[in-house]
A and B are shown apart, each in its own frame.
Chain A
Amino acid sequence: MTDKAITYDLADRPVVFTQEQIGWAPWLQPLDESELTDRHWEGLTEASRAKSPYFMLLARDPDILGARTRTDKDIFYNPDAGLPRAERELSAAATSRSNGCIFCASVHARFASTYSKRGEDVQRLLDGGVDVDLGDRWNTLVAASVALTETPSAFGGEQIADLKEAGLDDLAIADLIQSAAFFNWANRLMLSLGEPTPAAG
């Protein structure tokens, strides 16, 4: 028996980039909590993620979900030197803006605003796109993230030289690379397996 993709008849679908808290609804059936084995819980990594339809859908292949999540957390949350958290989030938001993931951009633009205290600049990135002027350092970080996001990638020696010129050391450059690269993973899952929904109530 063939499964059916799930469709929604939503009023007020999010159709612009926003920093507001929006939702996400899956186009394929997530697992039910009653179906979870130890291997699924291991893949979810945190019990609270059993409440998320996104993670419960990805839990259908638990080993890759677990490895994905551990990769994600070290790239963004490891506080040991490198690029400041705010700028890792800026890279995630710029990558999401470039690929066109309204949901991913909303989450990581919020984080970028929280950690940088530059919410208006972050909003200009969302409203105007990746070519808006955000000052030299942020322009360089956004341009490098966007170059890496192109397919085939346009990232190379020129971007590395610009990042060094902006004051990034090698670990910070690697953080920028991994932040943008990771959102090329996340954007493709979020965009293709479901859709953003309006903020609750």
Chain B
Amino acid sequence: MSDKSKDVIDQLVGVLPGSALDAVRNGRPTARDNAQKSFEALFAPADAGTVLLEERFAIAYFVAALHKDEAIAAFYKEQLGHHDRNGLIGAISAEIRRGETVGPYGHYPAGPLSAEDKPGLEYQPDPANREVLGRLGAALAHAHFLVFRPRDASPDKLQKLLNAGWSTTDIVTLSQLVAFLAFQIRVVIGLRALAASQQAASVAYATTPISPVAAA
């Protein structure tokens, strides 16, 4: 078991031990435990290999903020703050504003589904940030594509990462990181909405007069 006091989904949703939502999460205990282990494998890895922690948190802050959830974006921004080099947070914040849009969109392989093609923003980082971002620039462009238009996939997108200095194994890690965040963020948003409905139900119950005598 992971240390439950450090569970990031619990922290971001505000799950209290012994609450109704705690019980719901315990209904799928292996998923609960491994969602946290996934976070740890990506953001506190036993062996970070050649993907630096500052790169991991920079991409995570970018991805979380593109999902427009303030609490989750603030969490990853703070984590990046612990690993930042000069100017990275400011550059990522500017890139977030540049990348904001609504998905999913993109193109299908040519054929009958082409009728459903939906064009949209094909984000590239600001050339003014090229120096501070370094190879992160290519990673942000790839992360944006994964977040908003994954159906636009092509081997050429992977070649661009390779050309920017990411290895094949690095690309697997980056892809897992962005895809995992797409999961974690949705679990937090979904469970938060469920928790709100549980609280509303218990408040309604608590304020319902117990008997005509009590109400009088």
B135 within 8 A of A: no
Are B30 and A5 neighbours in the complex by a CB distance under 8 Å?
no
| A82 CB to nearest chain B CB (Å) | 6
Which of chain A's residues has its CB closest to B176's CB?
A64
Q: How far is the CA of A180 from the CA of B112 in the complex (A)?
A: 26
Q: How far is the CA of A161 from the CA of B200 in the complex (A)?
A: 12
Which of chain A's residues has its CB closest to B190's CB?
A177
Contact partner, B197, options A16, A73, A152, A164, Cβ 8 Å: A164
Q: Chain B contacts of A106 at CB under 8 A? A: none
Are B193 and A170 neighbours in the complex by a CB distance under 8 Å?
no
Q: How far is the CA of A74 from the CA of B45 in the complex (A)?
A: 23
8 Å CB interface, A78-129 against B: 78, 80-82, 98-102, 129
Q: Is the interface of A mostly helix, strand, loop or mixed?
A: helix
8 Å CB interface, A103-162 against B: 129, 148-153, 155-157, 159-161
Are B186 and A67 neighbours in the complex by a CB distance under 8 Å?
no
For chains A and B in complex, what number of residue pairs have CB atoms within 8 angstroms? Answer: 218
Task: Map CB proximity to A onto B161-180 as digits: 1 under 8 Å, 0 otherwise.
Answer: 01100011101110110111
Contact partner, A153, options B109, B185, B196, Cβ 8 Å: B185
B183 within 8 A of A: yes
In the complex, which of the residues A64, A70, A129 has the most CB atoms of chain B within 10 Å of its own CB atom? Answer: A64
Which of chain B's residues has its CB closest to A6's CB?
B155
Are B179 and A171 neighbours in the complex by a CB distance under 8 Å?
no
| CB within 8 Å for A64 and B28 given contacts A151-B67, A151-B103, A180-B186 | no
A50 within 8 A of B: no
Give the bracket for the number of chain B residues in contact with chain A: 35 or more
Are A155 and B193 neighbours in the complex by a CB distance under 8 Å?
yes
Are A189 and B176 neighbours in the complex by a CB distance under 8 Å?
yes
- A-binding segment of B32-40, B77-85, B88-96, B126-134: B32-40
A22 within 8 A of B: no
Are A60 and B162 neighbours in the complex by a CB distance under 8 Å?
no
Task: Map CB proximity to B onto A57-74 as digits: 1 under 8 Å, 0 otherwise.
Answer: 110110111111011011
Q: Chain A contacts of B155 at CB under 8 A? A: 5-7, 27
A15 within 8 A of B: yes
A3 within 8 A of B: yes
Q: How far is the CA of A3 from the CA of B30 in the complex (A)?
A: 36
8 Å CB interface, B111-135 against A: 111-113, 116
A181 within 8 A of B: yes
Q: Chain A contacts of B28 at CB under 8 A? A: 74-75, 78, 82, 174-175, 178
B4 within 8 A of A: no
Q: Chain B contacts of A44 at CB under 8 A? A: none
Contact partner, B191, options A2, A15, A161, A174, Cβ 8 Å: A174
Are A57 and B104 neighbours in the complex by a CB distance under 8 Å?
no
Are B146 and A188 neighbours in the complex by a CB distance under 8 Å?
yes
A-B CB contact pairs (8 Å), 22 listed: A4-B159, A13-B109, A16-B113, A63-B45, A64-B176, A68-B34, A68-B180, A71-B38, A75-B28, A78-B28, A78-B31, A129-B116, A148-B186, A151-B66, A157-B197, A160-B193, A174-B190, A178-B187, A180-B186, A181-B186, A192-B145, A192-B175
Given contacts A16-B112, A170-B194, 5 further A-B contacts (CB under 8 A): A15-B108, A64-B41, A155-B186, A170-B21, A188-B179
Top 4 closest pairs, chain A to chain B, by CB = A15-B111, A100-B151, A177-B190, A181-B186
